């Protein structure tokens, strides 16, 4: 009991610290984005709806039972179902991060993307942190169909890009999810910088070798 209580306190603080960090570095704006973490007893903590990730209060995070029922805290993010769908399909996931990071959102609104894998393997680090990035068709934020569409991809992909919206990334830990979301954002930025330039991404063979490590 004492252990889970100290874990809860730590995770509440970590969610707020990650929220502050991404907000302060301009990786999400206003009250956009949401973050969740799953604890060792299967319960989940999520950021409340309409909360700025820059000024989260650890005591006000929304708490869910392992079955996905809201327990207490402020009214949860409208994407709570989407986060729960990620956890259902990814038993090892300990955290999910969704941001409105500018370059990722810009790419999510581009025409003629490959819906199976939006970004080319520009660097080894991107392939290792993110891997293949499917595009989820557009649905309004909070729409249960958006969560269902993410659920369909979640078993085989820990990172997805919501069309005209932004990235959703799961990780074994909160840091894993944060770092992968940041890597996705930087690669989206590189991808946009390289538009109009002849580009030499990693070969399929080189990328596959990294995916298998
Ligand atoms: O884009 C949206 O509206 C949501 O996906 C979002 O980023 C913020 O919604 P809340 O977490 O409900 O504040
Ligand atoms: Zn959003």
- 26-33: which pairs have CB atoms within 8 A and are 24 or more residues apart? 26/102, 27/99, 27/101, 27/181, 27/182, 27/185, 28/53, 28/99, 28/100, 28/101, 29/100, 32/99, 32/100, 32/166, 33/97, 33/98, 33/99, 33/100, 33/166
Contact of 70 with 59, CB cutoff 8 Å? no
Mean pLDDT of 84-93: 98
pTM of the model: 0.97
What is the DSSP annotation of 149-212?
HHHHHHTT-SEEEETTTEEEEEESSHHHHHHHHHHHHHHHHHHHHTTTS---PPPHHHHHHHHT
Asked if 155 is an active-site residue, the reply is: no
Mean pLDDT of 34-40: 98
Q: How remote is the CA of residue 30 from the centroid of ligand 2, in Å?
A: 11
Mean pLDDT of 181-206: 98
Q: How remote is the CA of residue 175 from the centroid of ligand 1, in Å?
A: 21
Give backbone dihedrals phi and psi of 202, rounded to 5 degrees, phi first.
-60, 150
Ligand 1 pocket residue status of 108, Cβ below 6 Å: no
Task: Give the number of the ligand closest to the Cα of residue 79.
Answer: 1
**Encoding tokens for residue 99?**
């941001």
Catalytic residue among 67, 87, 125, 186: 125
Handedness of CA 167, 169, 175, 180 (dihedral sign): negative
Asked if 179 is an active-site residue, the reply is: no
* CATH of the domain spanning 2-211, picked from 3.40.50.150, 3.30.1490.20, 3.40.225.10, 3.90.120.10: 3.40.225.10
pLDDT 10s digits, 113-158: 999 999 999 999 999 999 999 999 999 999 999 999 999 999 999 9
**Encoding tokens for residue 212?**
């298998």
pLDDT 10s digits, 130-141: 999 999 999 999
Question: Where do the domains of the chain lie?
Answer: 2-211
Catalytic residue among 7, 67, 79, 138: 79
């Amino acid at each position: 009991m004492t252990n889970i209580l100290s874990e809860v306190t730590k995770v509440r603080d970590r969610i707020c610290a990650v929220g502050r960090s991404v907000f302060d570095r301009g990786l999400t704006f206003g009250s956009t984005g949401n973050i969740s973490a799953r604890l060792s007893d299967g319960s989940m903590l999520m950021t409340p709806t309409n909360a700025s990730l820059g000024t989260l209060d650890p005591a006000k995070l929304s708490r869910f039972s392992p079955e996905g029922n809201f327990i207490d805290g402020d009214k949860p993010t409208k994407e709570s179902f989407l986060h729960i769908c990620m956890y259902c399909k990814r038993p090892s996931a300990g955290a999910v991060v969704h941001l409105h990071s500018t370059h990722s959102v810009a790419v999510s609104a581009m025409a003629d993307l490959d819906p199976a894998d939006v970004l080319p393997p520009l660097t080894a680090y991107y392939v290792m942190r993110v891997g293949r990035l499917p595009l989820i068709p557009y649905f309004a934020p909070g729409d249960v169909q958006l969560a269902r569409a993410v659920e369909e991809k979640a078993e085989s992909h820990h990172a997805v890009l919501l069309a005209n919206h932004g990235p959703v990334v799961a990780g074994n830990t909160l840091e894993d999810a944060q770092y992968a979301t940041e890597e996705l954002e930087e690669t989206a930025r590189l991808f946009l910088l390289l538009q109009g330039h002849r580009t030499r991404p990693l070969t399929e063979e080189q990328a596959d070798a990294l995916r298998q490590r």
